[in-house]
Chain A
Amino acid sequence: MQVFDLEAQGLRALNATLHGLSGQTNETAWEIVNPRGSHAIAVGVDAPVDITVRGSTGYYCAGMNKQATIRVKGSAGPGVAENMMSGTVIIDGDASQYAGATGRGGLLVIKGNASSRCGISMKGIDIVVHGNIGHMSAFMAQSGSLVVLGNAGEALGDSLYEARLFVRGSVKSLGADCIEKEMRPEHLRLLADLLKRGEADHLAKPEEFRRYGSARKLYTFNIDNAAAY
């Protein structure tokens, strides 16, 4: 286990060290202590390593992650795992706004609640939230899956493209062009896999969720839909 004291050694040294790791590294387990809410912790990592952050993080922790498994033993500030490409990011606490924004791959697990705009503009990432999510989540979400064991706030999935949304609790309101859709067997299978990988299969069953997706009515401009744009 490599231990990195962020307060003593600084952010630049941390990310430079992590960027120096390659797929062949023997230093596969890392622990970051004293994060103290710093921004941009472990951003741009591109190696199959395990990183544990002992405490809460500021903005953009694990931004653009590739391959790494990053676990935050605390809560995460805005934009955690933004634009993640692959790998896994697990937040033991809550996540602030824009969690998983524009993520293109990998898995983001939030064991607490996520704030507004969770999964905004997501492009292939899978997100599993054990608690609730805030308003405008999955806004303009393009692809990937968002699983919410709790409730969703206002305007879920506004201007949605092809992302799949699964919510177990209530949805305060659906955004423009987002509708409830039939849950078919393939969706139940997908959900079962996501719950398992999201460390939530002991908390909920696929049959308890409802599925939401795009009505695809705003895909091509139509003047009679002007109020919805």
Chain B
Amino acid sequence: MTDFPHTPPRQSWTFSNDVNAEIRRAAATGIYDIRGGGSKRRLPHFDDLLFLGASISRYPLEGYREKCATDVWLGTRHARTPIHLDIPVTIAGMSFGALSGPAKEALGRGATEAGTSTTTGDGGMTEEERGHSRTLVYQYLPSRYGMNPDDLRRADAIEIVVGQGAKPGGGGMLLGQKISDRVAAMRNLPKGIDQRSACRHPDWTGPDDLEIKILELREITDWDKPIYVKIGGARPYYDTALAVKAGADVVVLDGMQGGTAATQDVFIENVGMPILACIPQAVKALQDLGMHREVQLIVSGGIRSGADVAKALALGADAVAIGTAALIALGDNDPALEAEYNKLGTTAGAYDDWHEGRDPAGITTQDPELYGRFDPVLGGRRLKNYLKVMTLEAQTIARACGKSHLHNLEPEDLCALTLEAAAMAGVPLAGTNWIPGRNGF
């Protein structure tokens, strides 16, 4: 008998092992996969951009000797008391409920020491974060959990949340495991039930209503506070223009890499656009309205380093916000906890079942034993260090491009490594003067 070569086993690209595992999981449980975090896809991102640096036609600035300023003003359009931050890296909105009290305290400590702001989330303002945050942005969300005029007035800015990058068009979800007595009391809900937050605001619909809602909030706070409008990366040109029309002082734009405490994986991975594709559209809207730098733009979704900060600013943002990266700086997904991640059926770097409230790092939990492990002073110091490093990195790049302020970075300082990134960011493909989509081709 002749021994013919066999066709080697061939895995399907369409029905990969990961896909098949998800089909089996769905068939066994009857519920879609819920998880925290943002998109895990390989997306066009800041990694696909490079800075050109100085040359004969551009003079660099001397590192450690010549100043490269990093401060940013937010809310200069209408607010009587705009915000002035030392660095253009802010902490994104994350709720008490999703995060533990000590984790919120650490965010406040670290942000304050680094000279920047932190943000509440879908659960109201806690004393931990107000007490430890020099500059606190108070989110105004569809759920209005804990909303009250006293907290509006003791906030430093108000952020009306229309959407977020992980789930543009989706509401919130905090499952029963995390609804402790304190969380339940703050949200006025029974303990232990799955808590859903609405996807639309209960008392306004559309940009004309939003304008009146902003008027009301300004009147309640006597026109003192900057009012931000946060949007997910859905239609950034039009959403930015409408937010400006409605009277926003600041637009916060969150791409699909931006994290959430919990939502459906299918939502996270299939709705919204990567932040790289969003920034130029938002900047274009501001420029078309003559409002670039008048209404400030904060961008978020996958910001990890000073290079990302510099690239976002070069594309026209005034500041960035970090969420996932801040949690990692605090100790989330640390390999030192690998044995405990293994017990949860996962591994360090992949842990995303934040909604289950069993976070061994004590950050995304309401379990006193688990959050008792987390040291908010140490966490705050780690966050401060990380924010300082990001700022130094961004300054290093800006000086190399000859810029005396991070805001002087511009698209002309950039080139793209891929066609996709060149088209999305609106900068030339490296080594060419070709920006796909411009000039008809």
**CB within 8 Å of B: which residues of A?**
11-12, 15-16, 19, 39-40, 43-44, 46, 58-60, 63-64, 66, 78-79, 82-83, 85, 97-98, 101-102, 104, 117, 120-121, 123-124, 139-140, 142-143, 159, 161-162, 219-221, 223-224
- Residues of A within 8 Å of B213, CB to CB, are 59-60
Please give 12 more A-B residue pairs, beta carbons under 8 A apart, in addition to A44-B149, A162-B190: A43-B219, A44-B152, A44-B219, A44-B220, A64-B152, A78-B204, A78-B209, A79-B203, A79-B204, A83-B149, A102-B144, A219-B190
| Interface contact B147-A83, CB-CB below 8 Å | yes
Q: B97-151: which residues lie under 8 A (CB-CB) from chain A? A: 143-144, 147-149
| Interface contact B193-A220, CB-CB below 8 Å | yes
- Residues of B within 8 Å of A159, CB to CB, are 196
Given A60-B212, A83-B148, A123-B144: A40 and B203 interface contact (C-beta under 8 Å): no
B30 part of interface (Cβ distance < 8 Å): yes
For the complex of A and B, 8 pairs with smallest distance between CB atoms: A44-B220, A223-B30, A79-B203, A98-B203, A219-B193, A102-B144, A101-B203, A64-B149
A-B contacts, 19 of them at CB < 8 A, read A11-B219, A16-B222, A40-B215, A44-B152, A44-B219, A59-B212, A78-B203, A78-B204, A82-B202, A83-B149, A104-B147, A117-B202, A120-B203, A121-B202, A123-B188, A139-B202, A143-B188, A220-B193, A221-B175
Partner of A219, one of B194, B198, B215: B194
Distance of A40 Cα from B31 Cα, bound (Å): 44
B73 part of interface (Cβ distance < 8 Å): no
- Residues of A within 8 Å of B148, CB to CB, are 64, 83, 85, 104
| Interface contact A142-B189, CB-CB below 8 Å | yes
B176 part of interface (Cβ distance < 8 Å): yes
How many residues on B have C-beta within 8 angstroms of the other chain's C-beta atoms? 30
Distance of A153 Cα from B212 Cα, bound (Å): 27
| Interface contact A12-B219, CB-CB below 8 Å | yes
- Residues of B within 8 Å of A97, CB to CB, are 203
Q: B389-424: which residues lie under 8 A (CB-CB) from chain A? A: none
| Interface contact A124-B203, CB-CB below 8 Å | no
- Residues of A within 8 Å of B147, CB to CB, are 83, 102, 104
B221 part of interface (Cβ distance < 8 Å): yes
- Residues of A within 8 Å of B144, CB to CB, are 83, 102, 121, 123
Partner of B189, one of A46, A139, A161: A161
- Residues of B within 8 Å of A139, CB to CB, are 202
B351 part of interface (Cβ distance < 8 Å): no
B66 part of interface (Cβ distance < 8 Å): no
- Residues of B within 8 Å of A66, CB to CB, are 149
> How many A-B contacts are there with CB distance less than 8 Å?
99
- Residues of B within 8 Å of A143, CB to CB, are 188
| Interface contact B219-A40, CB-CB below 8 Å | yes
- Residues of A within 8 Å of B31, CB to CB, are 221, 223
B223 part of interface (Cβ distance < 8 Å): yes
| Interface contact A85-B149, CB-CB below 8 Å | yes
Measured between C-beta atoms, what is the minimum distance from B184 to chain A in Å? 11
Distance of A59 Cα from B143 Cα, bound (Å): 19
Measured between C-beta atoms, what is the minimum distance from A56 to chain B in Å? 15
Measured between C-beta atoms, what is the minimum distance from A82 to chain B in Å? 5
Partner of A220, one of B149, B152, B176, B216: B176
Q: Which of A40, A98, A124, A143 neighbours the largest number of chain B CB atoms within 10 Å of its CB? A: A40
Partner of B219, one of A15, A120, A140: A15
Measured between C-beta atoms, what is the minimum distance from B348 to chain A in Å? 28
- Residues of A within 8 Å of B221, CB to CB, are 44
Distance of A26 Cα from B4 Cα, bound (Å): 103
Measured between C-beta atoms, what is the minimum distance from A215 to chain B in Å? 13
| Interface contact A120-B202, CB-CB below 8 Å | yes
| Interface contact A39-B212, CB-CB below 8 Å | yes
Distance of A136 Cα from B222 Cα, bound (Å): 33
Convert B209-231 into 0s and 1s, putting 1 for each residue whose CB lies closer than 8 angstroms to a CB of A. Answer: 10011011001111100000000
Distance of A222 Cα from B198 Cα, bound (Å): 19
Measured between C-beta atoms, what is the minimum distance from A67 to chain B in Å? 11
| Interface contact A40-B212, CB-CB below 8 Å | yes
Measured between C-beta atoms, what is the minimum distance from B325 to chain A in Å? 30
Measured between C-beta atoms, what is the minimum distance from A10 to chain B in Å? 11
Measured between C-beta atoms, what is the minimum distance from A179 to chain B in Å? 17
| Interface contact A15-B222, CB-CB below 8 Å | yes
| Interface contact A161-B203, CB-CB below 8 Å | no
Measured between C-beta atoms, what is the minimum distance from A92 to chain B in Å? 21
Distance of A170 Cα from B193 Cα, bound (Å): 31
Q: Which residue in chain B gives the minimum CB-CB distance to A123?
A: B188
Q: Which of A58, A64, A143 neighbours the largest number of chain B CB atoms within 10 Å of its CB? A: A64
| Interface contact A102-B203, CB-CB below 8 Å | yes
- Residues of B within 8 Å of A117, CB to CB, are 202
| Interface contact B189-A43, CB-CB below 8 Å | no
- Residues of B within 8 Å of A102, CB to CB, are 144, 147, 202-203
- Residues of B within 8 Å of A219, CB to CB, are 190, 193-194
Measured between C-beta atoms, what is the minimum distance from B210 to chain A in Å? 11
Distance of A67 Cα from B194 Cα, bound (Å): 33
